[in-house]
Amino acid sequence: LLIATGIAPFILLLGKGLFIYIQDLASYFAPPISVIFLVGILWRKASARAANSTLIAGIVFGIVLKLITPQLPTNLSVLLTPFLNRAFVSWLFSLSVMVAVSLLGDRLNRKILADDIIWKPSYVRLSDEENNRHRGWQNFMVWWSIALALRVLVYFVYA
């Protein structure tokens, strides 16, 4: 409480709310971490060296992007000012670093992963007994399709 009381006047002097600063910090760290998680689970060729490189390069890129955004041409500056847009650009950069370092990395040094670590489409398939048990309105694909259709409908109605 004492630390927050001490920091509060400085946050007020900066002119933006605390929410914006927290979201800016998240836009530096979240994109590379999410890329490492998703690519690490879904792609067998992802390597530890690529994960480390992605984390460092992604955070640095996010900070540099925040710093150079005001100096960019007007159209690009306006596009990259919102933290979510910068986070998406940082995510794309982090993804490219992860893939490039994984593909160009040392293949001899790569550890052999167990078969059950990387996600496979066979994990989604149900047995015949489960398929018979979940027919009609009990089928999760029916409910998933309805939920997707409702989301698309809400998007187009309110967009």
Residue-level pLDDT at 8: 80
Q: What is the pTM of this model?
A: 0.67
Residue-level pLDDT at 101: 93
Domain ranges of the chain: 27-124, 126-159
Contacts of 133 (CB under 8 A, 6+ apart): none
Instruction: For the chain, 159 residues long, give each residue's pLDDT as a single digit of tens.
Output: 889 888 888 877 877 777 888 888 899 999 999 999 999 888 888 888 899 999 999 999 999 999 999 898 888 888 888 888 999 999 999 999 999 999 987 664 556 555 666 677 777 777 888 878 888 888 888 999 999 999 999 999 987
